[in-house]
Amino acid sequence: MKNWLKVFLFAGIVGLAAIAYMWFFMYNKPHTDYDKATPDFIISANECYNHFYNGQESPDKAFTGKVLQLHGFLTSVDDLDSTAVIVFTYNEGMFGDEGIRCTLLPTYKDEGLNFDKSKSITIKGFCSGYNDTDVILEHCSIIN
Amino acid sequence: MKKLTLVFITMFAIASMATAQKYVTKNGKISFYSDGPLEKIEAHNSQVNSAINTETGQLAFKVLMKSFIFEKALMQEHFNENYVESDKFPNATFRGKITNAQKIDFTVNGSYEADIEGELTIHGITQKVSEKGTFTVSNDGIKGDSKFFVKIADYDISIPGAVTGKIAEEIEITVNVMLKPLGAL
């Protein structure tokens, strides 16, 4: 086989491998497994709410976009279609109670709905920010 | 003493009426869908704040952009970092009014078509919009549904040159909320 053909074939194989890598590992890369993720911050739910409510969110100490592990006493649990939302209430405003709202991963729905409110709960999830009434956490799991 | 009691009763009654006129939810759902030549894009958000004052017909929505969940993680990254710049513009909002409120009786169960006008803010850009929606009044509360289109360009959302023309210029927005009287949440 001529040298130029070998080079051409090699370049083609490398190109195809690069496209396959892009397809499988970048375009189709999976979402973060928040159930197994290591928390960036471990704080009380009350401290977390006050952080946002008092305008302390800053580039130096940003909870938004991070995995938070919170502990505290939940106020209520909203039963939604395939999941449930753990609610910590610390204030009251135009939309009613304000605090922290944590959407559970579907596998934790039953545990959330049946959680004993007299006990402190520890949860972990992705903080998507503060909407001026509540701190929102998604993909939450119950640790204990 | 009787006068004082009467004042308290009147104040309580007024406060109760004012509360009953306001229906809210924090579990509203908004999804968007676009079917462009390159690929379909779909995302869902189920932590939407919404409130309606049935007396004045005023309504409001507030959506945290980072709460939109996509099927593909890469799409979600691009949406937040390159398109809507969620760190810079974390919320989208709508504030408006039902313009045919006189045709809707929120005290009687039934389905009502609503004309809604207001200001929609996405990516820090506010545009006046006029859309249709449906309110279904039942003993469970007020269900609100709407479906409409927004042009990406209207909100100064730039599409990278490499994919220009391959992503739909308009996205379909679907809104579903189940509003309960304030205080019943």
User: From the list B27, B49, B73, which residue is nearest A131 (CB)?
Assistant: B49
Render the burial of B134-155: b for 16+ CB within 10 Å, e for the rest: ebebeeebbbbbbebebebeeb
What is the rounded average pLDDT of the residues A27-35? 86
Question: Tokens at residue B122, please?
Answer: 């996405």
- List phi, psi (to 5°) of A75: -95, -45
What does each of the 185 residues of chain B score in pLDDT, given as a tens digit? 455 444 444 444 434 444 458 999 999 999 999 887 777 889 999 999 999 999 999 999 999 999 999 988 988 998 999 899 999 999 999 999 999 999 999 999 999 999 999 999 999 999 999 999 999 999 999 999 999 999 999 999 987 766 666 678 889 999 999 999 987 65
Contacts of A94 in chain B (CB under 8 A): 51
- Edge-to-edge strand ranges of the sheet holding A135-142: A41-44, A67-72, A121-130, A135-142, A96-104, A84-93, A76-79
CB distance A116 to A106 below 8 Å? no
- Among the listed residues B71, B54, B67, B44, the one whose alpha carbon sits nearest the alpha carbon of residue B18: B54
B73, A29: Cβ pair inside 8 Å? yes
Structure confidence at residue B137 (pLDDT)? 97
**Topology classification of domain A41-142:** OB fold (Dihydrolipoamide Acetyltransferase, E2P) (2.40.50)
B49, A133: Cβ pair inside 8 Å? yes
Q: Does B27 touch chain A (CB under 8 A)?
A: yes
Which of 3.60.40.10, 3.30.200.20, 2.40.128.110, 3.40.630.30 would CATH assign to domain B23-181? 2.40.128.110
Contacts of A32 in chain B (CB under 8 A): 73
pLDDT in tens, A39-86: 999 999 999 999 999 998 887 789 999 999 999 999 999 999 889 999
For residue A82, with 0-12 CB atoms within 10 Å meaning exposed, 13-18 middle and 19 or more buried, which class applies?
exposed
pLDDT in tens, A94-124: 778 899 999 999 999 999 999 999 999 999 9
Structure confidence at residue B21 (pLDDT)? 87
Q: Residue A96 CA to chain centroid, in angstroms?
A: 24
To the nearest whole angstrom, how far is the Cα of B2 from the nearest Cα of chain A? 32
Q: Which residues contact A12 (CB under 8 A, 6 or more apart)?
A: none
- C-alpha B161/C-alpha B151 separation (Å) is 17
Report ipTM for this prediction.
0.81
Contacts of A27 in chain B (CB under 8 A): 72, 74
Domain edges within chain A:
1-30, 41-142
User: From the list A30, A94, A138, which residue is nearest B51 (CB)?
Assistant: A94
Domain edges within chain B:
23-181
A64, B90: Cβ pair inside 8 Å? yes
Which amino acid makes up residue A40? D
- Among the listed residues B80, B78, B90, B85, the one whose alpha carbon sits nearest the alpha carbon of residue B39: B78
Distances (CA, A) of B7 to A97, B3, B15, B19: 27, 6, 12, 18
Contacts of B49 in chain A (CB under 8 A): 95, 131, 133-134
